Structure 1
């Protein structure tokens, strides 16, 4: 059995058979999630998706921990003193195993925030062909993929909700779990959930609070 647990903002943990995979442990999330991690995936270098100093310290204290991330993140971790043997630079098209999960890296770029802000690398991750974490992007899965859970970003300077609705409709997941929502008020969260549940078109839209779990098929 595989469980998915929400750890705040864009961070989730996947667990199966005693192994733990963490995605995007950033500054808006509960970083104690790293204490039990066997592998960490980072989508891009923004601080709400990775805290380089914290991850570097965790690598120093956990000798088996491995990290996969875009080159810019790997370079920052290397400069922070992390063991380069346990850092893996990835880009779209890469496939690998992390903590017992099959991972495919997708995409290339962070969505545009503003024309005056240069775009940075962003890698989406498809886990076991069924769970998609796009980071800060609207990266689509392979056409043949059948997505069980889409971790859909719902609030950010780079998106509007209509784009998220269209993204969910394009992916056609069985379930949608909203993420990337730390900037929303309680009122904004409730409004976002109502609109996404009504317009997204997935069979299940399910908000997970911090620590809430979802069992994956």
Structure 2
């Protein structure tokens, strides 16, 4: 069985048989998640999705830890002196195994924040054909894939809730777990939960608080 836990904002950990895969450990997250990580996936270079120095420290103290990320993140880690072979650049279409989980990379770009803000590379990760983390995008999974859990961003300067609802409808997951919500007040969180849960059409909308677990399989 696989358990999914949220560690604040966009950071999620998947755990199975003692192996731990962490996605997007950024500056708004509880970075103690890196203390026991076996592999890390990063969707893009923004600091709320990757705390570069703390990830460097985790690589230094956990000799088996490996990281997969877009080229811009890899270059920043390389500049900090990470040993070759432990940080891997990814792009859409790549497939690999991380901490025993099968990972497929899809998507290319961060959603538009504003016409005056340059777009950065952003990949989504489909884990075990079941869990989709899109980073800051509305990237769809491969057409033949049925997603069990969509980690759906619900707050940020680049999205509207109407777009989130349409995204959930397009993916058609069994379960929606909201993420990317550090910028929301309690009122904003309640509003996003109510609208996406009632209009998205997923089988279940499941907000995970600190320490809450979602078990798959």
> Is 1:100 matched with 2:100?
yes
Instruction: Tell me whether 1:51 sits opposite 2:51 in the alignment.
Output: yes
CA contact 1:74–1:89 (8 Å) conserved in 2: yes
Give the C-alpha shift of residue 109 in structure 1: 0.3
Q: Report the alpha carbon displacement of residue 71 of structure 1 after superposing the two structures with TM.
A: 0.3
Gaps of 5+ in 2: none
Structure 2 counterpart of 1:191: 191
- Look up the match of 1:39: 39
Flag structure 1 segments of 5+ consecutive residues without an equivalent: none
Distance (Å, rounded) in 2 between the aligned partners of 1:36 and 1:68? 17
TM-score, reference length from structure 1 = 0.99
Task: Give 1:147 shift.
Answer: 0.5
Where in structure 2 are the equivalents of 1:190-209 lying within 5 Å?
190-209=190-209
* Alignment-derived partner of residue 120 in structure 1: 120
Q: Note the C-alpha offset of 1:20.
A: 0.4
- The 1-side partners of 2:126 and 2:83 are apart by 26
Length, aligned pairs only: 217
Q: Confirm or deny: 8 A CA contact 1:52 1:80 kept in the other structure.
A: no
Aligned positions of 1:20-39 closer than 5 A: 20-39=20-39
Moved over 6 A (4+): none
Indicate the residue corresponding to 1:213 in structure 2: 213
Quick check: 1:68 aligned with 2:68? yes
Query: If the length of structure 2 is used for normalisation, what is the TM-score?
Result: 0.99
* RMSD (CA atoms): 0.5
- How far has the Cα of 1:84 moved from its partner? 2.2
